[in-house]
Amino acid sequence: YLYNNRYAGDQVLRITPRNEEEVQVLRRLFQNMSVDLWQPNSASLIHEGRAVDVHTGQNGTAGLKARLRQEHIQHSVLISNLQEEIEKQTGYRSSRKRR
Amino acid sequence: SEFQYDYEVYHSMEEIQSWMFEMNRTHPHMLDMFSIGRSYEGRPLYVLQLGKRTRTYKKAVWIDCGVHAREWIGPAFCQWFVKEALNSYRHDSSMRRLINQLTFYVMPVFNVDGYHYSWKVDRFWRKTRSKNAKYHCRGVDANRNWKVKWCEEGASSHPCDDTYCGPYPESEPEVKAVAKFLRKHKRRVKAYISIHAYAQMLLYPYSYKYATIPNFNCVETAAQNAVSALYSAYGVRYRYGPASTTLYVSSGSSIDWAYKTGIPYAFAFELRDTGYFGFLLPETLINPTCTETMRAVRAIASGLLKKC
């Protein structure tokens, strides 16, 4: 496995804060959680109506989703298994190598 | 034997460096390869100078790719640009005109340490790989480390943050080397282009403030032409405008520094996509993404040969 399979089960969620209150909730949330923000690249840059793409680890995804549901913040799953996407991204190469 | 290089897959740092040496060896009249310094971990910072050698004064375009390590489509585009420029020189008169009348400085991988690290250890690494004596976290955001409104809004002073601005401006040897080169050649360099991902945007100054640049009309026109050219390839729509309003406010960015240094056209591309794959853009999309971006960069370069 690429990267020793470290991204197995990791996901990328898309969250769209609809108002300033949700923006503040997200900023507070991400100050205390170790997540990998893809877009924007800092919690301080989260704005109302702007999509937030966040990479969460296998262990943190359920908790983050639960918290988002609790706060009634809209979210969707962009990438449901990051390891699979990584394998696909350069899968062509490894198959070539195997060949 | 004919040098076979697959431009439609992502390549490691070592492969990209070998490719540069090979292109330099096989195109002595069109390409010149040199190093502008060394990275934090001691890797050479190679630049390819593309263009017909002449004694006369020529305007120049600077293109850097891979400022942020995980944005792999950037280095793929820089390699694609060089390959296309060389391959189309003979049969494409407008490309020939660009290469004859302009010099292109192309830096396929700006953040060589980070790119290598993103291949080997952490696919989603963003920053450089410099060490901080007091913190265990490594790396500086190379696009928050330029000496322009350094470390203010949109940047972080905490070494563990992804937008860490660094201990001082140009603290990163990679940033210092490029800044030094551009300062030295600023009379000739008329356009600065930095390739990032993802969001499908074309951004120009200012990033650090909500204000209109003095040559707004010319830059806005150049951006409009660029995104129209890009759209003409596959119908992909890019948003464009000042970075502060189109994306967000951020200080210490390379396009603001280039503009402040006197380079009249400074752009940052955010290439595909808008989040479906994000940083994991599949290799099958390298060709269309690079083809459309090539049209946009050519449009910007062509604009330099006209008066505005």
Q: Is the pLDDT at B43 greater than 80, yes or no?
A: yes
Q: For position A97, what pLDDT does the model report?
A: 46
Minimal C-alpha gap between A26 and chain B (Å)? 16
- Kindly state the helix (H) or strand (E) to which residue B152 belongs, with its residue range: none
Mark yes or no for CB contact A41/B276 under 8 Å: no
Per-residue pLDDT reduced to its tens digit, B157-172:
999 999 999 999 999 9
Say whether residue B106 is in contact with chain A using an 8 A CB cutoff: no
Beta strands in B29-171 (DSSP E): 31-38, 44-50, 59-65, 102-107
Query: What's the mean pLDDT when you consider all of chain B?
Result: 96
The beta-carbon neighbor of B156 closest among A14, A42, A47 is A42
Q: For position B216, what pLDDT does the model report?
A: 98
For residue A1, give Cα distances in angstroms to A7, A85, A86: 10, 12, 10
Say whether residue A8 is in contact with chain B using an 8 A CB cutoff: no
Q: For position B88, what pLDDT does the model report?
A: 94
Distance between CA B57 and CA B102 in Å, rounded? 9
Distance between CA B223 and CA B296 in Å, rounded? 8
Q: For residues B247 and B209, is the Cβ–Cβ distance under 8 A?
A: no
The beta-carbon neighbor of A36 closest among B124, B156, B247 is B124
The beta-carbon neighbor of A38 closest among B10, B250, B279 is B279
Q: For position B2, what pLDDT does the model report?
A: 56
The beta-carbon neighbor of B280 closest among A39, A42, A85 is A85
Per-residue pLDDT reduced to its tens digit, B123-152:
999 999 999 888 899 999 999 999 999 999
Minimal C-alpha gap between A99 and chain B (Å)? 16
Minimal C-alpha gap between B162 and chain A (Å)? 7
Chain B residue with minimal CA distance to A85?
Answer: B280
Q: Which residues of B touch A44 (CB under 8 A)?
A: 154, 156
Stretch B34-52: mean pLDDT: 96
The counts of H helices and E strands in chain B are: 9, 8
Sign of the Cα torsion A87, A92, A93, A98 reads positive
- Residue B69 sits at the vertex; the CA angle it makes with B25 and B245, to the nearest 5 degrees, is 115
Residue B63 φ/ψ, nearest 5 degrees: -130, 120
Q: For position B57, what pLDDT does the model report?
A: 86
The beta-carbon neighbor of A38 closest among B122, B161, B278 is B278
Q: For position B4, what pLDDT does the model report?
A: 87
DSSP B120-142: HT-TT--S----BTTBS-----T
Minimal C-alpha gap between A67 and chain B (Å)? 22
Mark yes or no for CB contact B277/A85 under 8 Å: yes
List residues of B with catalytic annotation.
270
DSSP summary character for residue B275: S
Q: For position B71, what pLDDT does the model report?
A: 98
Mark yes or no for CB contact B278/A37 under 8 Å: no
Portion of chain B with pLDDT greater than 70, in percent: 99
Q: Which residues of B touch A51 (CB under 8 A)?
A: 275
Instruction: Give the contacts of B289 (CB within 8 A, at least 6 positions apart).
Output: B73, B76, B77, B271, B272, B281
Say whether residue A89 is in contact with chain B using an 8 A CB cutoff: yes
Q: For residues B55 and B32, is the Cβ–Cβ distance under 8 A?
A: no
Q: For residues B262 and B189, is the Cβ–Cβ distance under 8 A?
A: no
Mark yes or no for CB contact A41/B282 under 8 Å: no
Say whether residue B69 is in contact with chain A using an 8 A CB cutoff: no
Chain B residue with minimal CA distance to A56?
Answer: B124
Distance between CA A3 and CA B123 in Å, rounded? 8
Per-residue pLDDT reduced to its tens digit, B173-209:
999 999 999 999 999 999 999 999 999 999 999 999 9
Q: For position B56, what pLDDT does the model report?
A: 83
Q: Is the pLDDT at B227 greater than 80, yes or no?
A: yes
Nearest to B162 by CA among B146, B143, B140: B140
Mark yes or no for CB contact B277/A44 under 8 Å: no
Stretch B56-82: mean pLDDT: 97
Tally the residues of chain A: 99
Radius of gyration (Cα) for chain A, nearest Å? 15
Q: For position B214, what pLDDT does the model report?
A: 97
Per-residue pLDDT reduced to its tens digit, B279-295:
999 999 999 999 999 99
pLDDT tens, chain A, 99 aa long = 899 999 999 999 999 999 999 999 999 999 888 889 999 999 999 999 999 999 999 988 999 999 999 999 999 999 999 999 999 887 655 444 443
DSSP summary character for residue B242: E
Q: Which of B122, B244, B248 to mutate to test the interface with A (most CBs of A within 10 A)?
A: B248
Interface confidence, given as ipTM, is 0.92
